[in-house]
Amino acid sequence: MKPLLLNADMGESFGPWVMGLDHEVMPHVDLANIACGFHASDPDVMRRTVHLAAEHGVGIGAHPAYPDLVGFGRRSMACSPAEIENLVLYQVGALAAMCRAENTAVRYVKPHGALYNDMARKPEIFIAVARAIRAFDPDLPLMTLATRDTAAIREQAQEHGITLWFEAFADRAYDGDGRLVSRAQPGAVHHEPDTIIDQARRIATGQPLTASDGSTLVLTADTLCVHGDNEESVASVRAIRQMLNKLHGQP
């Protein structure tokens, strides 16, 4: 069984406003998706988060978004493909500068929020993101949603010379196509630790989930996203880490 890497969104504080418990979560994850200033973060937060990830040997990913601080990047914006290519390139470059200052490097790209969802649904947006990655470093993998059928996006990635890492979520509900249920819908986010840990275990072992329409859903993923913005969710992250270590025969 291939190890399932744990990733978490990090560095989403802004000035005096604090979000997340990065210091509590970082020791338990493999990958840190670090905000690049468009939906959250600022230069000070970015560098501190890069430093923290490097201290713990955690792989660093750029987490670019639409320019939407007020909406936390969760609102789609009418950006042209050229604008999306440039805003992704700008944000990856900003994080890369912080990484260079801390003697580390960006290892992958995971778009945030609405940009992440739009990229999975609209080929023109996927191509724009892919072009930005190729312009910066074509060897950087692109993290995208593991759905029921990934054939189309695999084909697009191959056409544009991009490596994909497929991602699943421990604390989100899925629809019948394997896409995330909108946060506007009741039950879209799981809050019970037992539910979150059980979903993580099912994804890690290839067991089916129950989609929102009642159908069974099996997701093939390279990485699992966890969130740690309160004490209960941090406890879930620790439990998932322990569960994965046990599955993979690690201490």
- pTM, full prediction: 0.95
Q: Is the dihedral of CA 173, 176, 177, 178 positive or negative?
A: positive
Query: What is the per-residue pLDDT for 1?
Result: 63
State the total domains in the chain.
1
Query: What is the per-residue pLDDT for 249?
Result: 81
Contact between residue 62 and residue 106 where contact means Cβ atoms under 8 Å apart: yes
The residue segments making up the domain with residue 191 are: 5-247
Which residues sit opposite 144 in a β-bridge? Answer: 166
Tell me whether residue 134 is exposed, middle or buried, using C-beta atoms within 10 angstroms of its C-beta: 0 to 12, 13 to 18, 19 or more.
middle
C-alpha triplet 23, 220, 226: angle, nearest 5°: 15
Mean pLDDT by 10 residues, the chain (251 residues): 90 93 96 98 98 98 97 96 98 98 98 96 96 97 96 95 96 94 89 92 95 95 88 88 89 71
Report the alpha-carbon distance of residue 17 to residue 58 in Å, rounded.
Answer: 24
For position 139, which CATH number holds? 3.20.20.370
